[in-house]
Structure 1
Amino acid sequence: MSEHIRVSVADGVCTVAMHRPEKKNALTRDMYAGLADAIERSAADPAIRCLLLTGTEEVFCAGNDIADFRAPRPAEDPAVPTPSRRFYFGLANFEKPLVAAVPGLAIGIGCTMLLHADIVYAAPEARFRLPFVDLGLVPELGASMLVPWLAGKHKAAELMMLGEFFDAAAAERMGFVNRILDRAELLPNATATARALAEKPVEAMRLTKRLLRPEMPPLLARMEEERVLIAERLRAPETQAIMANVLKPKR
């Protein structure tokens, strides 16, 4: 388990907190592995009946760690899923209720993972962004299908092509967020909701979640298409130049 992923289990709820505040909870390969481990454990353990995702006191997740993202990797074994793939598809296929508490920044993967949650609470200070085009990339985690499904085609184009920040009130209007709560009340309320969901009839909950979601085969196919395109974009000179500039020391 990554030192930057904190996991606790109580009252049928597995709480998973990203905890790398010095880097605004930007995800590394090890953090993806820790998140995937927690999701797989929660999926397999019948005593865990709800998953709660959160961050640190002021940040949810500021996206991928660009330096870690660009670091050379050993050749992938097709028979062994990468940590990010385990996280992506584990999250999408998770059949139990999933609650998210967003205290602050939710950028890139920090925003798209919320599309797979069932109930999302955010603090008024939370800010969201889908900056994939600005990084020379394409959306991931099924966002190219889920954001239009949630917010409509034209709004999705605005969010992902312009890549501008939007606040918690806008996120609530578009359906990214269920409720806005003061930061002090955020985690207690999310935990109470997760515990209430954990007490519901298990099979009825699983079937209801399945019925509420979009058709899974097209979504999973789109997620795989996005992953292939991201891998291609990461090798593109355009993207390499953008990311090198992001990593350039600031004077």
Structure 2
Amino acid sequence: MSEHIRTELSDGVLSVTLNRADKKNAITQAMYAALSDAMERAKADDAIRAVLLRAEGDSFSAGNDIGDFIAIGSQTEKPFDMSVFRYLKSLADLDKPLVAAVKGRAVGIGLTMLLHCDLVVVADDALLSVPFVNLALAPEAASSLLLPAAIGHQRAFELFALGEVIDGRTALAWGLANRAVPAGDVDATAAELAAKVAARAPNSIRKTKRLMRDAEALWVLMQREGEAFGSQMKSPEAMEAFTAFTQKRAPDFSKLG
């Protein structure tokens, strides 16, 4: 279990907390492994009725830890062996309610994991984005299907292609969240919703969620996305984007095609 992922079970709710506030909760492969452990435990343990995803600090997640992701991704010939893919599969497979409490930044997978949540509470001033194209990458977590399904093709394409940010109020209006509340109320509101759903008939809840989601189809799509993501990671476009990111400048794709 990574020191940067904390879990606590109380009254049927497993709280899973991203605990790397000094790095805006950017997620490493070790953290993905710990998150996978938590989701797999939640599915298997009848004492767990719901899962609450939250984060310490002022941001939900800055997305992948870029340095960690590049280092590990460039060394493996089998990207599906990376812990991130185990986590994605655990999200697809989870048949118990998943509730998220989102404050501050939710970037990349910090947003796309919310598409697998059943109840989402955002701070009204939270900032959400999926800047995959900005890094010359491709969508993941079945977001190429789930995001357009949630908010429509045009809005989803704009978020993917331009990498622009939406706030919590917009996320609520577009259907990405159930509640948008002041940042100070996010954790309590999400915990209240998690407790309510945990008190419902557990088998009824699980069957309802299974009927609403096709876990096998989501995993098939995640693997297709992973192939696109992996090929882009090794592309000249991505090398330029990563170099520009570390040099704090805008990438120049004018000579690439």
Fold shared, TM-score > 0.5 on shorter chain: yes
Map 1:37-186; keep pairs closer than 5 Å.
37-72=37-72, 75=76, 81-186=81-186
**Stretches of structure 2 lacking an aligned partner (at least 5 in a row):** 250-257
Alpha-carbon deviation of 1:21?
1.1
Q: Contact (CA 8 Å) 1:76, 1:82: kept in 2 or not?
A: no
1:230 aligns with 2:229: yes
Structure 2: distance between partners of 1:76 and 1:193: 42
Q: Deviations over 1:160-201 (max 9, x none)?
A: 111100111111111111111122221112111111111111
Q: Provide the secondary structure at the position in 1 that maps to 2:60.
A: strand
The answer to whether the 8 Å contact 1:26/1:63 transfers is: yes
2:26 counterpart residue number: 26
2:214 maps to 1:221 = no
Percent of pairs with identical residues? 41
The correspondence of residues 181-196 of structure 1 with structure 2, limited to 5 A, is: 181-196=181-196
CA deviation vs aligned residue, 1:125-168 (integer Å, no higher than 9, x gap) = 21000100010000000010001111111111111111100111
Give TM-score scaled by structure 2 length.
0.92
**AA in 2 matched with 1:167:** D
Contact 2:19 2:25 survives alignment (8 Å): yes
Q: How many residues align?
A: 248
Instruction: Name the stretch that deviates more: 215-224 or 160-169.
Output: 215-224
Aligned to 1:241: 240
Distance 2:129 2:233 in 1: 20
Task: Name the amino acid aligned to 1:244.
Answer: T
Deviation at 1:217, TM superposition (A): 3.6
Residue 61 of structure 1 aligns to a residue in which SS? coil
Q: Hey, what's the Cα distance between the residues in 1 that align with 2:65 and 2:150?
A: 27
Closer, same or farther in 2 for the Cα pair 1:122/1:249, shift >3 Å?
Answer: closer
Separation in 1, partners of 2:25, 2:4: 8
Q: Which amino acid is the alignment partner of residue 206 of structure 1?
A: R
Structure 2 Cα separation of the partners of residues 122 and 85 of structure 1? 25
Any runs of at least 4 consecutive aligned residues in structure 1 with deviations exceeding 6 A, and if so which? none
**1:17 shift after superposition:** 0.8
Cα RMSD, aligned residues only: 1.7
Q: Is the CA contact (8 Å cut-off) linking 1:29 and 1:83 kept in structure 2?
A: yes
Displacement of 1:76: 5.8
Secondary structure in structure 2 of the residue aligned to 1:113: helix
Q: Is the 8 A contact 1:133 1:161 kept in 2?
A: yes
Deviation at 1:249, TM superposition (A): 7.1
Matched residue SS, 1:60: coil
Q: Partners in 1 of 2:86 and 2:243 — Cα distance? A: 27
Shift of 1:91: 0.7
Q: Distance in 1 between matches of 2:203 and 2:77?
A: 37
User: Residue 51 of structure 1: CA displacement?
Assistant: 0.4
Gaps of 5+ in 1: none
Is 1:12 matched with 2:12?
Answer: yes
Matched position secondary structure for 2:131: coil
